[in-house]
Chains A and B, each alone.
Chain A
Amino acid sequence: MRNLVALGLIIWCSAVWSQEWEDRKLFNTEDAATNIRIISSTDTDLFAPLVDAFVSQNPDVSIEYLVTGTADINHRFRASPEAFDIVISSAMDLQFKLTNDGFALNLDGVTHPAWAQWRQSLFAFTSEPAAIVIKRSEFAGHPIPRSRQELIEALRSRPEVFKGRIGTYDVRQSGLGYLFATQDARASETFWRLMEVMGGLDVQLYCCSGEMIDDLTDGKIAVAYNVLGSYAEARPESRETLEIILPSDFPTTMLRTAFVSKTSSEPAAAKRFLEFLLSTQSNRTGNIRSLPPLIDQTAGVEGSKITLEPTLMTFLDTLKRNKFLAEWENALIHN
């Protein structure tokens, strides 16, 4: 009886395990001695070329690539840090806090610019700006908004077109969405006005960039705010129909980060993968790269680029988060 219960539990667990991932892919399962498990928020299509390149150079390593949302990564990894070897996420603040809390392994000997790493544990490997993506057809004959202010004006001038057809992150669900929103709020009051306008136009809320771009391509929505431009660029079919706008008033640029779990069972192989990832992403002429490269931020123009600093933890504070979410809901949701 007890055995049966245990068996049932195992089956249930593995079912839950495979069911609850947005995506799950195995690389090089045949003749690999060591297996590393990567938990990531990056879509498999975007990341696969890189992993393929790695396993072809390292046939002794197999990789299990698991995809889920940024907030979910935080929960799952905190619950069982020993189950994963590498954590990749676009939510810099959550990644930063995991590192600060001591979940990341210190990787001596990995050379990476100081601005793109923290404590020799957390490493940034892409620079990705938050973009406004619009459907070109909806703006035919109208000026294309180049800044948040212009977007507000565009939305206000044609409410009949945009009512129910604006998308943005649900910051309560998405870690990256929350990061973008808090950084925007910090940089300018325009953000709150935009949110109020969007709230008045019955905004659609999304968990992930991918879905937002799907709906944009399908024409379900006309504008997506604070979405990752890299996801839109990666779709060949949407290149003509969609326009990616980097707001000229203040661009918010996020760094996608990775770290090796302190409780990893394969730290050496995980470190090898991380080094491969960093060198590929820092190399400007690499052709296996499918992700945006890491661009030196220190040479940038604006100050609104998100840096790997303790300030990232400010908006993760429970009191602060509750207050922010309350304001956000107040602005966006009217019912």
Chain B
Amino acid sequence: MTNKVATSGSLRNRLVFTLIGGAAVLALLFFFVVRSFSVQIAQQGQDNILLASATSMLDAAAIRNSTIELDLPYSAFSMLSTQADDRIFYAILQDGKFLSGYEDLVGVDASSSNTPTFKTSFVRGAKVRIISASRTLIGASERTEIQIILAQTQDDLSKTLDQISRNAAFLGFGFFALTSALSFWATSATIGQLGKLTKSVTRRGPQDLRPFKRSVPKEMGPLVSSLNSLMGRLDQSLSQSEDFIAEAAHRVRTPLATVRSYADATLQRVDKEENREAMRSMIKAIDESSRAAGQLLDHAMITFRADHLVREEINLVELTRDLVERLTPIAEMKDLSLALHSDDQVIYKGDPVLIQNAVRNLIDNAMKYGPMESTIEIFVSRVPSPSVTVCDNGPGFPVGEIESLTTRFQRGENSKDIVGSGLGLTIARDVALAHGGNIHLENKLEGGACVTLSL
């Protein structure tokens, strides 16, 4: 009984995609933030050095004998030396007039405010960072402004930035990979709880409606508790209906027995053939009803015991022998003999009442559907699993129906004139299933039916 459940999407995929997507976005964000920060910091570093250099140049300026003197300090250029051999350009201006250095720098930055200004531009085809700084000199009779324009290429800077970018990319990727692995793990751990619950639901026997006791994560609590309450209600309604059936069967059986004895007595007294015929049909119907009531009662009992299966050690051989002895008188009435073939003992842990009931139903069938004056063979064996097999020499199961005979109230076409309810094989099957076994029906090649109850 496998129902196709309508599903849409996967919780696992959704979780994994959300987590990995989030990790990717975060990793990218990390990369860009680190990059932009390091661009700022590296640029700041270069600017600071340029400022220091320009300041040292400005500091070297002095007015002597009313002419300007600027004794370029050695340190001004030595501090601009970089690993990547960056080029430097500079210009010294007095009141906007070029004094020395690189004349093509003049006009690159026209600002002559007192605070140093920085900008990025191109000089001689190379990308450079330019600082422009100035200082006012006051001599005896004049004031003059000295301006320094200093430019440095950015090879070292971009080298450093490349390095940082590469490291940030590695780090970002590592973070992403780690988070991905983590999200896979977290997802399967979370989904795993659901899987566990599913497994313990499917592992249960068909009659097992006990509530789940094992602790589950908090979030799954409501699901399990509603599952439990659903099963509780189901269990209750099932046992109510079984109780009801058993009660009903019991109540029907007693009056039926009374009716049956009256009918028997009446049949003795009736002479007219047509009335006798009617009485016989009546008796058959009564037999059928009381058989059905008996079987229903048995079935209800079996369902109950299977739910609360109590296993005890039993010897299947002894159990079967008991049964055979009890049934022998009935068999002899039909000139039938029951032959038991078995080992000394087959020890099995199970419910003796259930197993006896099942085997009785099988022998009962063999006697009902087998021919008179024949032998019913009963085998009890230990291998491959503890089992009881009942075989007769009758016509066998009707071909084509063999699959469906174990379902409830299902009777074969060969059972027309034979009293029965269609529950015998169902009882046997339920007993087998309750013990974790199964029932197997087959027709022998030389004729006759064989039923194996394996436990």
Task: Mark A residues whose CB is within 8 Å of B.
Answer: 100-102, 118-120, 186, 309-311, 313-314, 317-320, 323
Contact = CB atoms under 8 A, between A and B. Distances in A.
Interface in B72-86: 72-74, 76-78, 80-81, 85
Contacts of B89: 100
A186 B73 CA distance: 11
Interface string B65-104: 0000111111011101100010111001000000111000
Contact of A317 (B78, B101, B124, B126): B101
A118 B76 contact: no
Given A102-B124, A102-B126, A310-B78, A323 B87 contact: no
Contact of A314 (B77, B85, B99, B124): B77
7 contacts: A102-B126, A118-B85, A186-B74, A310-B77, A310-B88, A313-B88, A317-B101
A319 B77 contact: no
Contact of B72 (A100, A102, A119, A317): A317
B384 interface: no
B125 interface: yes
A154 to B, nearest CB: 31
Given A310-B77, A311-B81, A100 B87 contact: yes
Closest 5 CB pairs of A and B: A318-B100, A310-B77, A119-B85, A320-B72, A311-B78
Contacts of B80: 310
A316 B124 CA distance: 19
Contacts of A323: 69, 71
B71 A319 contact: yes
Nearest to A100: B87
A309 to B, nearest CB: 5
B101 A119 contact: no
Contacts of B92: 317, 319
B58 to A, nearest CB: 13
B72 A319 contact: yes
Contacts of A309: 77-78, 81
Contact of A313 (B69, B73, B77): B77
A102 B128 CA distance: 14
Contacts of B70: 319-320
Interface residues of B, number: 22
Contact of B77 (A101, A119, A311): A311
Contacts of A310: 77-78, 80-81, 88
B95 to A, nearest CB: 15
A313 B101 CA distance: 10
A310, A314, A318 interface centre (most CB from chain B within 10 Å):
A310
Contacts of A102: 87, 124-126
A310 B156 CA distance: 14
Contacts of A319: 69-72, 92, 99-100
A102 to B, nearest CB: 5
Nearest to A182: B74
Given A100-B88, A318-B100, A311 B125 contact: no
A167 B301 CA distance: 134
Nearest to B87: A100
Given A314-B72, A320-B71, 13 more contacts: A100-B87, A186-B74, A309-B77, A310-B78, A310-B80, A310-B88, A313-B77, A313-B88, A318-B101, A319-B71, A319-B99, A320-B72, A323-B71
Contacts of B101: 317-318
A186 B99 CA distance: 23
Contacts of A186: 74
A314 B69 CA distance: 15
A226 B224 CA distance: 99
Nearest to A122: B85
Interface in B42-79: 69-74, 76-78
B100 A317 contact: yes
Contacts of B76: 314
A319 B337 CA distance: 138
A314 B72 CA distance: 6
A35 B76 CA distance: 42
A101, A118, A317 interface centre (most CB from chain B within 10 Å):
A317
B67 to A, nearest CB: 10
A48 B74 CA distance: 37
A186, A319, A323 interface centre (most CB from chain B within 10 Å):
A319
Contacts of B69: 319, 323
A68 B99 CA distance: 30
Nearest to B100: A318
B99 A318 contact: yes
